C-alpha cells in the first residue's frame, strides 16, 4: 500500500481504522536493511551483496513510543497483514504535515516539508512515550538485528493485536525475536512483565555475536537477567552493557531467555541458582542449589505433561511427550515456588 496523500498519516487509532480481522500493525519499508545503517566494530558494514528493503513493524498503539516512527510519510509505501478483505479507513481530519521520521534506531530521516509543531499532535494521541522498554541489538561480524520489548500491565505473553509486531524472517542475516506463548515470532513484543520471556536467535554464520542492551522508563528500577542455555550461565542486564557469545549457523534458536525481579524483591539463594532452558527438542533444568527440586511441566493449554525430581547440584532433561510449542515449568522446594516459560523448537 502507499500513502497517496500530500500529508503524513499518523500511526494512531484516531487516524487509522483497520478492517475486521486485520492485524493492527503498520509495516514500514526501510530504504535498506538494518545491516546498512548499523555500525559494526566501529566501521560501517560492507554493503556489497546485501539486499535492500526491510519492514519495521509498528503496532498501532505504539506509534511514536520511544524511538518508533509516529507517521507514514507522504508517498511512502507500507503494508498491513490480514486474512480477509476490507477497507483501511484514514481519517483525513487527523492527517499531519510531513516531518522527520524515526527509523527505530534513534536516527531520523527528513521527508519533504518539516514541521516541528506537528509532532506534539501525534504525541497527544498516543500517550505511550514513557512506556518501559528493553531494546536488544545482536551484532555479528557480518550482520545485525534488533528486537523491542515493552512492558504494560494488562497485556499477555501471546500475540497482542495493536501492541505486538510480527517478525519477518530473512535468510542471510542474524535474526533476533521474541517467542510468544502462542508460537508467534515477534519483532516488537508487549508483555506484562519481562519474566520468562523466551528469545529466538538465528546465527547467519559461525562466529562471535554481541547483545547490546538499552533500558528505558521504569525498567531502570528492575533487575533483568539473560539466561544462556548453551553455556548454562546467567547474566544481569544493565543499560548500555553488552554480552558476547559464539554461535553456529543451524543451532537451535531457543538458546536465550529473560527473567526479571523488582529491585524491592530479593532473590532467594535457590532462585538465583535455578535455570530452565531448551535444547534439541528437550527441556533442560539446572539445579545449582543445595536443595532437591521438583519440576512440573505443563503445555500452553495448562495440561500437565510430566514431573521430574532434580537432585541438589544436579541436572535433568525432559524430552518424552514433548512437541514443538511453549511450556510452563513450575519449580518447587522448601525455598522456591516459581514458574518459568520455555519454547521447544
- Select the highest-mean-pLDDT range: 84-88, 120-124, 247-251: 247-251
What value, to the nearest 5°, has the Cα angle with vertex 185 and ends 37 and 51? 30
Question: What are the DSSP calls for 164-203, one per residue?
Answer: -EE----SSS-EEEEE-TTS-EEEEEEES-SSSEEEEEE-
Q: Which residues contact 245 (CB under 8 A, 6 or more apart)?
A: 208, 209, 210, 211, 228, 230, 231
Q: Which residues contact 49 (CB under 8 A, 6 or more apart)?
A: none
For residues 190-200, give the mean pLDDT. Answer: 90
- Select the highest-mean-pLDDT range: 31-45, 199-213, 261-275: 199-213
Residues 18 and 25 sit within 8 Å (Cβ to Cβ): no
Residues 125 and 38 sit within 8 Å (Cβ to Cβ): no
Output 261 or 149, whichever has higher pLDDT: 149
Nearest CA-CA partner of 124 in 10, 261, 285: 10
For residues 252-262, give the mean pLDDT. Answer: 86
For residues 183-203, give the mean pLDDT. Answer: 92
Segments in the chain forming alpha helices (H): 118-125
For residues 315-326, give the mean pLDDT. Answer: 89
The pLDDT value given to residue 167: 92
- Select the highest-mean-pLDDT range: 29-38, 141-150, 181-190: 181-190
The pLDDT value given to residue 196: 83
- Ordered domains of the chain (ranges, CATH): 9-262 (no CATH), 274-344 (2.60.40.3080)
Nearest CA-CA partner of 258 in 208, 219, 204, 308: 219
Is a pLDDT exceeding 80 seen at residue 113?
no
Residues 135 and 122 sit within 8 Å (Cβ to Cβ): no
The pLDDT value given to residue 268: 62
124: burial class by Cβ within 10 Å (0-12, 13-18, 19+)?
A: exposed
Four-CA torsion 327, 331, 332, 335, nearest 10 degrees: -150
Enter the DSSP assignment of 94: G
For residues 15-36, give the mean pLDDT. Answer: 76
Q: Among 18-22, 94-98, 291-295, which is the least confidently predicted range?
A: 94-98
- Is this model's pTM higher than 0.85 or not? no
Q: Among 14-18, 42-46, 179-183, 235-239, which is the least confidently predicted range?
A: 42-46
For residues 225-238, give the mean pLDDT. Answer: 88
Is a pLDDT exceeding 70 seen at residue 262?
no
Q: Among 224-228, 238-242, 244-248, 262-266, which is the least confidently predicted range?
A: 262-266
**What's the full length of the chain, in residues?**
345
C-alpha cell at 90: 484514514
The pLDDT value given to residue 33: 45
Structure confidence by residue, pLDDT tens digits, 298-309: 988 778 999 999
For residues 187-214, give the mean pLDDT. Answer: 92
The pLDDT value given to residue 149: 94
Is a pLDDT exceeding 70 seen at residue 120?
no
The pLDDT value given to residue 321: 84
Nearest CA-CA partner of 333 in 286, 301, 290: 290
Nearest CA-CA partner of 191 in 225, 163, 227, 221: 163
Name the phi and psi angles at 283, rounded to 5: -95, 125
What value, to the nearest 5°, has the Cα angle with vertex 253 and ends 45 and 26? 65
Give the N- to C-terminal CA distance of the chain in Å, as an integer. 34
pLDDT confidence of 316, banded at 50, 70, 90?
A: very high
Residues 189 and 152 sit within 8 Å (Cβ to Cβ): no
Summary mean pLDDT of the chain: 80
Residues 69 and 104 sit within 8 Å (Cβ to Cβ): yes
Is a pLDDT exceeding 70 seen at residue 153?
yes
Q: State which H helix or E strand residue 17 sits in.
A: strand 16-17
Cα 5 to Cα 15, 91, 95: the distances in Å are 13, 11, 9
Amino acid at each position: 500500500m502507499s500513502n497517496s496523500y500530500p500529508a503524513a498519516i499518523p500511526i494512531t487509532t484516531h487516524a487509522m481504522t483497520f478492517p475486521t480481522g486485520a492485524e493492527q500493525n503498520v509495516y514500514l519499508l526501510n530504504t535498506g536493511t538494518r545491516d546498512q545503517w548499523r555500525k559494526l566494530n566501529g566501521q560501517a558494514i560492507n554493503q556489497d551483496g546485501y539486499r535492500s528493503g526491510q519492514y519495521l513493524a509498528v503496532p498501532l498503539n505504539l506509534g511514536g513510543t520511544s524511538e518508533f516512527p509516529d507517521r507514514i510519510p507522504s508517498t511512502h509505501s507500507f503494508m498491513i497483514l490480514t486474512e480477509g478483505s476490507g477497507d483501511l479507513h484514514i481519517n483525513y481530519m487527523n492527517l499531519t504535515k510531513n516531518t522527520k521520521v524515526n527509523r527505530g534506531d534513534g536516527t531520523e530521516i527528513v521527508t519533504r516539508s518539516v514541521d516541528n509543531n506537528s509532532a506534539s499532535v501525534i504525541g497527544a494521541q498516543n500517550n505511550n512515550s514513557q512506556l518501559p522498554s528493553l531494546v536488544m541489538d545482536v551484532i555479528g561480524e557480518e550482520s545485525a538485528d534488533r528486537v523491542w520489548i515493552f512492558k504494560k500491565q494488562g497485556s499477555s505473553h501471546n500475540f497482542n493485536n495493536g501492541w505486538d509486531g510480527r517478525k519477518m524472517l530473512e535468510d542471510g542475516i542474524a535474526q533476533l525475536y521474541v517467542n510468544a506463548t502462542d508460537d508467534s515470532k515477534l519483532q516488537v513484543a508487549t508483555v506484562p512483565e519481562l519474566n520468562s520471556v523466551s528469545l529466538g536467535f538465528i546465527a547467519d554464520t559461525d562466529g562471535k555475536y554481541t547483545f547490546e542492551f538499552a533500558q528505558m522508563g521504569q525498567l531502570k528500577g528492575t533487575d533483568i537477567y539473560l539466561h544462556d542455555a548453551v553455556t548454562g550461565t546467567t547474566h544481569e542486564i544493565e543499560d548500555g552493557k553488552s554480552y558476547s557469545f559464539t554461535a553456529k549457523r543451524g543451532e537451535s534458536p531457543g538458546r536465550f531467555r529473560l527473567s526479571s525481579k523488582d529491585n524491592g524483591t530479593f532473590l532467594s539463594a535457590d532462585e538465583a541458582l535455578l535455570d530452565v532452558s531448551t535444547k534439541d527438542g528437550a527441556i533442560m533444568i539446572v539445579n545449582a542449589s543445595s536443595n532437591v527440586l521438583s519440576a512440573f511441566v505443563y503445555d500452553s493449554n495448562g495440561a500437565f505433561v510430566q514431573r521430574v525430581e532434580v537432585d541438589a547440584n544436579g541436572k535433568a532433561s525432559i524430552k518424552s511427550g514433548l512437541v514443538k510449542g511453549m511450556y510452563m515449568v513450575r519449580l518447587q522446594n522448601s525455598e522456591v515456588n516459581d514458574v518459568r516459560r520455555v519454547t521447544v523448537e
